């Protein structure tokens, strides 16, 4: 079961390990029913782990098979491994609480006698679980049966009479919170209501280097967003600390479960984050919710991955575009549309006729024939993958001409068609008229050949043309990635044919090698009825290979190429129009969850969220918005200092209202106090994280080795949170909108204390 499993035996301690100051909660009238039910859950978990382990071992022993059989076997193994990982990671901890309705909250389930009736509250878990007879022991938190646990409020109880949430540590319950909906005396007699809810209590807990899931404490308004319809785009707008990110992550797990329940393919959801530290920070959340198949990436990852390693990026990634005006021009949708004109330049039919010499007669190929063949390419076919369609149309035109030619009587059509399909002159002419192009060459030419850029982007002024030119075509920046991605999508893989041919050659060589091994085994085997003679069968030798002859080898970066059934974009206010085009290219359905805060945008964001999404191509009828206005993370003392900072440049900023006060006012000091501030905090706090935010992102070597102290730039801190935040020289963050936004973002990363140090 794993480290968190509680072995339930007559001698073993109970599931509950409540500290002395919570002794009043240890009354058997309050916890006996939970003890019994969770003992049953523990037994069922042991049985399920044993069953899954046996199935996994058996599946691993199954032969790989071919094609779809191999894929199905590997998918089963991955699913079983993931499910076992979840069970072993949590054990009983996967039960997050239970609720009771009016029909189920009577005395029987509180009865401490071992003969109590089976009627019981609904226990909610990270995954569903049944006993051997199929009786539900835990309902998956994503199912409709679990929804009342999260959705019940005093204003709308949803039929719920009480709710209990657990806090686990070391595989045992160390606290629980009861909430009563209504005034039923029978319910009050068997629960232990708290002044503070589980949610409020959790807000003051120390942070670690990774975000935790908040499954136990999800609020009703958050749950409604998590379970919202995935058709179209859902905008989750809210200021810092409002829980946007955690809602988005839980929504990802919910949607994946819905896809599986409705028969859609799993692993087809993408989470796009602002930077790599953010993705590392949230990496544990989805596995803790039982999901291991969500793909994650930054916008830069999408662009680099699409190019399959053809860009040699430095270790820290591509640099940002140094000229703001160049970055602005490259971010426009018009520049993305320029890629189409750039490709069309290479799709012009020849203006001269040519003669094709065949065994039977000579055939003339005219410019009109070329134009017809080029026009026959189906819409959506990548440029580099269109040759077969063009060649087939040209062959049909010439065969038809031969059959209607008086000198062509008796020409065998099939043989002529086959000869034309392999004709070297036709191949050479086609490659000249419709060349194979790499995305890097296409975009690089735009920046180094002014006449080519003017032809493709006639809307640019002379000054803008000159500004976009650069001496080296491959001096790539992050602003180039959306254009390179658009070019790669439009062009397709220029090396696909060569790679497929190499794969087939390697396969043929492997078959020949295995044939030699088989011959040696047969020659050494004296038993005519033995296994070795079976190796003479070609079908068996072919089946021993991993994939069919016509199956291309898998390409790693292709996993981010899409299409995805749903994409979640966090910190979406930072995306440019050209970056949005990258997202929509991977999600043709337009099924998106867009998470962000307009006030935290470092770029101009004068329009509304629906206006922004409509402008980049989404239908307004398929856009819905929800707004989060309560700050759960940042204490009121800090928000009172941060609000004037952002309102100095964005007077209409939606600054959220803090739900709590920490009692610790914002401190101010000198930069030379940095080490003393951090050392003092570490000495007095055995848990928690410190974030030092400064212009360079490097606050000093003394802190670099600590796993509880991180130094970041304001941009790198976006999406993260720390118990203590120390701002070093915030005036150096810049002036205007960018400087104010960076200061606002940095200040609101704190969950407990903010210290501002100036030179």
Per-residue HEC secondary structure of 625-669 comes to EEEECEECCCCHHHHHHHHHHHHCCCCCCCCCEECCCCCCCCEEE
Which residues neighbour 329 within 8 Å (Cβ) at sequence distance 6 or greater? 335, 460, 464, 467, 468
pLDDT at 294 over 90: no
Burial class, 316, CB count within 10 angstroms (exposed 0-12 / middle 13-18 / buried 19+): exposed
pLDDT per position as a tens digit, 542-552: 444 444 444 44
What pLDDT score does 110 carry? 40
Mean pLDDT of 371-398: 93
- The size of the chain, in residues, is 759
Mean pLDDT of 10-34: 81
* Most confident segment among 317-326, 506-515, 519-528: 317-326
Question: CB–CB of 39/14 below 8 Å?
Answer: no
691 marked as binding residue: no
Q: What angle do CA 231, 235, 240 make, to 5 degrees?
A: 150
238 marked as binding residue: yes
pLDDT at 704 over 60: no
244 marked as binding residue: yes
* Global confidence as pTM: 0.80
CA separation for the pair 721, 736 (Å, rounded): 24
Question: CB–CB of 295/560 below 8 Å?
Answer: yes
Structure tokens at 268: 């087809």
Mean pLDDT of 584-612: 93
> Please, which pLDDT band fits residue 231 given cuts at 50, 70 and 90?
confident
Rg, Å, the chain Cα set:
32
HSE of 362, CA atoms in CB hemisphere, 13 A = 6
pLDDT at 338 over 60: yes
Mean pLDDT of 651-660: 91
CA separation for the pair 392, 53 (Å, rounded): 53
242 marked as binding residue: yes
Mean pLDDT of 510-528: 59
Which residues neighbour 458 within 8 Å (Cβ) at sequence distance 6 or greater? none
What pLDDT score does 555 carry? 44
Among residues 179, 137, 177, 176, the alpha carbon closest in space to that of 158 is found at: 179
Looking at residue 560, what DSSP letter applies? G
pLDDT at 648 over 90: yes
What pLDDT score does 102 carry? 78
Question: CB–CB of 723/751 below 8 Å?
Answer: yes
CA separation for the pair 737, 178 (Å, rounded): 46
CA separation for the pair 606, 612 (Å, rounded): 9
> Please, which pLDDT band fits residue 374 given cuts at 50, 70 and 90?
very high
- 376 bridge partner residues: none
What pLDDT score does 505 carry? 56
What pLDDT score does 526 carry? 57
Mean pLDDT of 9-31: 78
Q: Per-residue b/e over 408-428, b at no fewer than 16 CB within 10 Å? A: beebeeeebeebbeebeebee
Question: CB–CB of 616/265 below 8 Å?
Answer: no
101 marked as binding residue: no
CA dihedral 640, 646, 649, 652 (to 10 degrees): -80
pLDDT per position as a tens digit, 565-574: 899 999 999 9
What pLDDT score does 421 carry? 82
Question: CB–CB of 686/720 below 8 Å?
Answer: no
Percent of the chain with pLDDT over 90: 47
Question: CB–CB of 719/570 below 8 Å?
Answer: yes
161 marked as binding residue: no
pLDDT at 14 over 90: no
718 marked as binding residue: no
What pLDDT score does 465 carry? 96
pLDDT at 517 over 50: yes
> Please, which pLDDT band fits residue 518 given cuts at 50, 70 and 90?
low
Question: CB–CB of 609/634 below 8 Å?
Answer: no
171 marked as binding residue: no
> Please, which pLDDT band fits residue 577 given cuts at 50, 70 and 90?
very high
pLDDT at 502 over 70: no
pLDDT at 409 over 90: no
Mean pLDDT of 43-66: 86
C-alpha of 725 from chain center: 28
pLDDT at 463 over 50: yes
């Amino acid at each position: 079961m794993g480290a968190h499993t509680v072995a339930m035996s007559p001698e073993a301690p109970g599931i509950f390990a409540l500290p002395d100051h919570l002794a009043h909660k240890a009354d058997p009238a309050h916890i006996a029913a939970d003890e019994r039910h969770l003992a049953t859950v523990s037994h069922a978990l042991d049985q399920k782990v044993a069953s899954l382990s046996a199935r996994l071992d058996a599946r691993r022993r199954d032969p790989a098979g071919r094609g779809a059989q191999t894929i199905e076997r590997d998918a089963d193994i991955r699913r079983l491994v993931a499910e076992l990982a979840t069970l072993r990671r949590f054990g009983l901890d996967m039960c997050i609480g239970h609720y009771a309705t009016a029909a189920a909250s009577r005395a029987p389930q509180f009865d401490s006698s071992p003969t109590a009736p089976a009627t019981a509250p609904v226990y909610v878990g990270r995954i569903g679980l049944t006993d051997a007879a199929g009786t539900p022991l835990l309902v998956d938190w994503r199912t409709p049966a679990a929804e009342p646990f999260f959705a019940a409020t005093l204003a709308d109880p949803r039929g719920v009479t009480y709710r209990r949430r657990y806090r686990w540590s070391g595989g045992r319950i160390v606290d629980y919170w009861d909430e009563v909906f209504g005034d039923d005396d029978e319910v009050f007699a068997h629960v232990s209501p708290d002044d503070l809810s589980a949610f409020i209590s959790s807000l003051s807990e120390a942070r670690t280097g990774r975000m935790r899931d908040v499954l136990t404490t999800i609020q009703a308004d958050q749950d409604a967003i998590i379970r919202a319809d995935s058709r179209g785009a859902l905008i989750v707008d809210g200021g810092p600390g409002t829980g946007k990110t955690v809602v988005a992550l839980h929504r990802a797990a919910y949607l994946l479960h819905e896809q599986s329940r409705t028969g859609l393919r799993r692993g087809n959801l993408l989470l796009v984050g602002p930077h790599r530290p953010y993705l590392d920070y949230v990496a544990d959340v989805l596995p803790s919710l039982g999901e291991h198949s969500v793909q994650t990436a930054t916008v830069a990852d999408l662009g680099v991955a699409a190019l399959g390693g053809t860009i040699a990026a430095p270790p820290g990634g591509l640099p940002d575009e140094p000229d703001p005006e160049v970055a602005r021009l490259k971010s426009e949708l018009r520049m993305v549309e320029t890629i189409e004109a750039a490709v069309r330049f290479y799709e012009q039919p020849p203006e001269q006729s040519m003669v094709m010499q065949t065994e039977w007669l000579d055939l003339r190929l005219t410019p009109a024939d070329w134009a017809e063949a080029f026009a026959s390419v189906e819409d959506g076919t990548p440029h580099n993958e269109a040759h077969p369609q063009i060649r087939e149309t040209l062959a049909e035109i010439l065969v038809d001409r031969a059959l209607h030619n008086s000198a062509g009587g008796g020409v065998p059509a099939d043989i002529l068609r086959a000869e034309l399909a392999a004709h070297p002159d036709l191949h050479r002419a086609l490659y000249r008229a419709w060349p194979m192009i790499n995305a890097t060459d296409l975009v690089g030419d735009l920046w180094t050949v002014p006449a080519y850029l003017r032809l493709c982007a006639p809307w640019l002024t002379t000054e803008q043309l000159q500004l976009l030119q650069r001496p080296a075509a491959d001096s790539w920046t992050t602003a180039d990635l959306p254009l390179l991605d658009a070019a790669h999508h439009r062009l397709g893989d220029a090396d696909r044919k060569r790679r497929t041919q190499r794969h087939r050659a390697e396969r043929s060589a492997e078959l020949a090698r295995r044939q030699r091994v088989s011959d040696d085994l047969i020659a050494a085997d004296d038993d005519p009825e033995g296994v070795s003679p079976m190796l003479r069968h070609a079908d068996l030798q072919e089946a021993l290979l991993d994939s069919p002859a016509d199956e291309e080898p898998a390409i790693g970066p292709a996993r981010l190429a899409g299409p995805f059934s749903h994409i979640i974009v966090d910190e979406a206010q930072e995306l440019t129009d050209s970056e949005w085009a990258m997202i929509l290219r991977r999600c043709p359905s337009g099924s998106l969850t867009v998470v962000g805060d307009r006030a935290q945008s470092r770029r101009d964001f004068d329009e509304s969220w629906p206006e922004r999404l409509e402008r980049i191509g989404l239908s307004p009828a398929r856009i819905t918005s929800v707004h989060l206005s309560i700050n759960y993370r940042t204490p009121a003392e800090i928000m009172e200092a941060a609000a004037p900072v952002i309102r100095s440049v964005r007077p209409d900023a939606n600054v959220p209202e803090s739900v709590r006060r920490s009692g610790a006012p914002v401190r101010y000091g000198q930069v030379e106090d940095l080490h003393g501030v951090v050392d003092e905090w570490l000495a007095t706090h055995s848990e928690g994280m410190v974030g030092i935010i400064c212009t360079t992102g490097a606050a000093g070597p003394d802190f670099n080795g600590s796993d509880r102290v991180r130094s970041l730039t304001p941009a790198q801190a976006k999406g993260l949170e720390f118990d203590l935040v120390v701002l070093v020289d915030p005036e150096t963050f810049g002036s205007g909108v960018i400087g104010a936004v960076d200061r606002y973002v940095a200040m609101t990363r704190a969950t407990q204390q903010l210290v501002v140090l100036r030179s």
